[in-house]
Amino acid sequence: MWRAGAAALVLGLAAEDGHAHDWYQGLRNPVGELCCGVRDCAPVAECVIGGREGIVHRGACVAIPADRLVPIPSPDGRAHLCTRPHPTLGERIVCVILPGSA
């Protein structure tokens, strides 16, 4: 009985998490590239680099490329980063969504 309850809880949390990230769908960066789906985007910490707003990516504070900053605020008040695999870089930044007015 407890297994069925645990499975239902896990499935419910997975469905809730997927639904919470539906807002990524259809977003495009300023150069027109689709940001991603739920596998490519995630909340990240914000930081300051060289007096400018940045994001924490792979444990380092990195500047936000202007052509990757989506001009809408995130609905949950957190910064979000969308990446894609890249053959030589490992992954590349596709979109950044900031809280507040972007």
Per-residue model confidence as pLDDT tens digits over 22-32 = 788 889 999 99
Angle at CA 70, nearest 5°, toward 101 and 34?
155
- Every domain of the chain and the residues it spans: 2-97
pTM summary value: 0.75
Nearest in space to 65 (alpha carbons), one of 77, 82, 78: 82
Per-residue model confidence as pLDDT tens digits over 3-16 = 443 333 333 333 34
Would you place residue 2 in the very low, low, confident or very high pLDDT band (cuts 50, 70, 90)?
A: very low
Tokens of 44: 């990240």
Which residues on adjacent β-strands are paired with residue 53?
48
